[in-house]
């Protein structure tokens, strides 16, 4: 790789939702942008989170100069502890993002990380790259986009962004900087594709204030609002609205409490003294003076809202007259959990407002018109849609084409693809290891796809283990075989089946042979018996012991 070549290697987030991570590489220098986690889909059984495959970076650890984080969402910072356990480099982030990262590193007991605070307007030289940070509005404060001067030209990375013309914190996406970057001539734009399916403009976060106000105005009892713990602007608006209606506020749920604490400390959340109270203190107040902000907007099983719905959250019992606002849209895969929670809250008599019946959520990502605006302001020569499932990338690519970019200059690439840019042009030159690394408990990447596959079988049909003792001299069955099953049949109700399994064992043993031969025979006959009797296919494991 010559010095005048720039490599772009996405290690996550292209063709999938989450685990965003991108490598920029030039001869002897390598920079990582974002290191996020991805949340498992419903059939990735037992997986806590997925992280990027770090191999490409680890194999080039001596070239790694910096890790730059665009904002503090989990899909951009969540895998940082895993990376920093394997390799170290200076980490650059804005103040709030840094605060959120530090909580995470603390929890993971990772110390002595070389952290640097950046702010919009800063310039940062790293090897042959010069980074210029500019503010972007998003559903968490303090997000940045990147102008990156490289040996092959100017690259712009949008971060996660929207063009909110009236953001709650007053900080707009930096149009002036974008115009200036556009004026300098942009070689390559990497831009957020999350909402490439959505026509028009994403509404301002501020419109939510009006909706909240309407609901609060009509509320007679307590108001309980569930939303994303990271959406500080929304929390600000809920607190402001509560104050306006003379309500005090309690914050419930660990991530919510943590985020509010950091955001207040760092000045991103403004709450007058005396407004925030504990749940205990709120109990002294009449219901119409109470607001509770809590986690659970995605139906997370252990969250406060979900437990309230199940009447398993001690401090708060939902009663008729309570108003509940679920200020979020279900992330695909969470619909059933969210719906169950909504139904439970309705059953307890609450007035429930949620995205299907009221505009209680706005997205933090640019819709099509904003995506086109960014493309047109920058007029890049090359375009790579980032942050999106495959269809989002394709649709974003088509938008760029409609904006006048040459089709051959639009690269719809996926995680692991290697794109090289030089004076001569751009091309995809290969594909690197892009395994979805599963984290389950303390195991990182030791969870093979085969184990997930076993879980899928177990989930569908359970298992049956037969422990069989055979006399090594006579070859006869030494005693009644022991049959252990879980997730297959309800044993108490299936004595007949277990009886027949024991008969099958006796027959298989009669035929004699080596331990393995008997096990093979048993495996087959028990599986057949199980299917014939129940139509199910449990994992069948015979354990034959010759004594």
Query: Which residues are catalytically annotated?
Result: 192, 365
Q: Which is nearer to a second copy, 93 or 306 (CB)?
A: 306
Shortest CB 484 distance to a second copy, Å: 6
Between 125 and 532, CB nearer to a second copy: 532
3-state SS, one letter per residue, for 93-131: ECHHHHHHHHHHHHHCCCCCCCEEECCCCCEEEECCEEE
Report the residue number, 403 or 458, with the smaller CB distance to a second copy.
458
11/227 Cα distance (integer angstroms): 29
- The least distance separating a second copy from the CB of residue 456, rounded to whole angstroms, comes to 8
Nearest CB to a second copy, comparing residues 123 and 499: 499
- Beta strands 417-422; 6-12: pairing state: antiparallel
User: Angle 110-111-116 (CA atoms, 0-180°, nearest 5)?
Assistant: 110
Which tokens in the block code for residue 347?
């059953």
- In whole angstroms, the minimum distance from the beta carbon of 493 to a second copy comes to 6
Give me the helix-helix angle, 207-218 and 232-244, nearest 10°: 40
Shortest distance, position 254 Cβ to a second copy, whole Å: 19
Q: How far apart are CA 481 and CA 469, in angstroms?
A: 7
Considering beta carbons, is residue 103 or 458 the nearer one to a second copy? 458
Residue among 276 and 478 whose Cβ is closer to a second copy = 478
Torsion of CA 427, 433, 439, 444, to 10 degrees: -140
458 vs 498, which CB is nearer to a second copy? Answer: 458
For residue 177, which of 120, 134, 212, 216 has the smallest C-alpha distance?
Answer: 134
Measuring CA to CA, how many Å separate 159 from each of 32, 279, 337, 365, 441?
13, 37, 30, 10, 30
CB 4 → a second copy: shortest distance, Å?
32
Q: If DSSP codes are grouped into helix, strand and coil, which group holds residue 293?
A: strand
DSSP 133-160: EEEEB-SSSSEEEEEEEETTEEEEE--S
Which residue's CB is nearer to a second copy, number 184 or number 391? 391
345's tokens: 């809250």
Sheet holding 186-192, edge to edge: 123-126, 129-136, 143-150, 153-157, 186-192, 382-386
Q: Are strands 186-192 and 153-157 parallel, antiparallel or unpaired?
A: parallel
Q: Name the DSSP letter for residue 162.
A: B
Strand partners, 431: 417
- Closest distance to a second copy from the beta carbon of 157 (Å): 23
Provide, rounded to whole angstroms, the least separation between the CB of residue 465 and a second copy.
5
Binding site for a second copy (CB under 8 A): 15, 41-43, 45-46, 197, 332-333, 335-336, 339, 342-343, 346-347, 352, 356-357, 389-391, 394-395, 440-443, 446-448, 450-452, 454-463, 465, 467, 469, 478-479, 482, 484, 486-490, 493-494, 531, 533-536, 539, 541, 543, 545, 547
The H or E element spanning position 395 is: helix 390-402
**Nearest to a second copy of 212, 348 (CB atom):** 348
Instruction: Work out how close the CB of 343 gets to a second copy at its nearest, in angstroms, rounded to a whole number.
Output: 4
Q: How far apart are CA 482 and CA 110, in angstroms?
A: 48
* CA–CA–CA angle 505, 508, 510 (5° rounding): 110
| Element spanning 469, H or E | strand 463-470
Instruction: State the Cα–Cα distance between residues 113 and 106, nearest whole angstrom.
Output: 10
Kindly give the pairing relationship between strand 64-68 and strand 91-93: parallel
Least separation in angstroms between residue 196's CB and a second copy is: 9
């Amino acid at each position: 790789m010559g010095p005048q070549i720039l490599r772009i290697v996405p290690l996550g987030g292209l063709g999938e939702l989450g685990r965003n991570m991108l490598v920029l590489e030039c001869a002897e220098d390598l920079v990582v942008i974002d290191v996020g986690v991805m949340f498992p889909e419903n059939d990735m059984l037992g997986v806590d989170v997925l992280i990027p495959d770090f191999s490409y970076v680890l194999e080039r650890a001596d070239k790694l100069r910096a890790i730059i984080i665009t904002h503090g969402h989990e899909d951009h910072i969540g895998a940082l502890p895993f990376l920093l356990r394997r390799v170290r480099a200076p980490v650059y982030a804005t103040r709030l993002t840094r605060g959120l990262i530090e909580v995470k590193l603390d929890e993971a007991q990772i110390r002595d990380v070389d952290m640097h605070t950046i702010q919009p307007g800063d310039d940062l030289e790293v090897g042959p790259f010069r980074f210029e940070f500019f503010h972007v509005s998003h559903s968490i404060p303090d997000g940045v986009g990147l102008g990156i001067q490289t040996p092959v030209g100017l690259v712009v990375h949008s971060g996660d962004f929207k063009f909110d013309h009236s953001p709650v914190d007053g900080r707009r996406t930096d149009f002036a900087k974008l115009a200036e970057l556009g004026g300098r001539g942009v070689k390559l734009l990497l831009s957020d594709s999350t909402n490439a399916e959505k026509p028009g403009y994403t509404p301002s976060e501020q419109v939510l204030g009006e909706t909240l106000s309407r609901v609060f105005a009509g509320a007679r009892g307590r108001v309980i609002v569930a939303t994303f713990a990271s959406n500080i602007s929304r929390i600000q608006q809920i607190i402001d609205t509560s104050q306006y209606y003379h309500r005090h506020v309690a914050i419930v749920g660990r991530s919510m409490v943590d985020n509010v604490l950091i955001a207040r400390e760092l000045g991103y959340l403004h709450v007058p003294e005396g407004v925030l109270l504990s749940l205990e203190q709120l109990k002294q107040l009449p219901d119409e003076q109470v607001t509770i902000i809590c986690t659970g907007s995605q139906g997370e099983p252990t969250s406060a809202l979900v437990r309230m719905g199940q009447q398993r959250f001690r401090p708060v019992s939902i009663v008729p007259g309570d108003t509940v606002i679920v200020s979020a849209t279900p992330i695909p895969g969470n619909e059933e959990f969210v719906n169950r929670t909504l139904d439970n809250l309705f059953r307890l008599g609450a007035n429930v407002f949620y995205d299907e019946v009221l505009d209680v959520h706005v997205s933090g990502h640019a819709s099509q018109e904003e995506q086109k605006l960014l493309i047109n302001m920058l007029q890049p020569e090359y375009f790579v849609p980032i942050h999106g499932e495959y269809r989002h990338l394709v649709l974003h690519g088509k938008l760029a084409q409609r904006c006048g970019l040459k089709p051959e200059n639009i690269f719809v690439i996926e995680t692991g693809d290697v794109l090289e840019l030089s004076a001569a042009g751009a091309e995809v030159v290969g594909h690197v290891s892009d395994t979805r690394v599963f984290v389950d408990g303390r195991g990182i990447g030791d969870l093979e796809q085969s184990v997930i596959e076993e879980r899928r079988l177990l989930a569908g049909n359970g298992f049956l283990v037969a422990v069989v003792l055979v006399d090594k001299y006579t070859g006869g069955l030494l005693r009644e075989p022991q049959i252990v099953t879980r997730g297959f049949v309800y044993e108490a109700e299936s004595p007949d089946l277990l009886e027949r399994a024991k008969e099958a064992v006796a027959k298989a043993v009669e035929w004699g042979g080596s331990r393995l031969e008997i096990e093979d025979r048993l495996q087959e006959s028990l599986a057949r018996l199980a299917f014939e009797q129940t139509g199910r296919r449990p994992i069948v494991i015979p354990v034959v012991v010759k004594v």
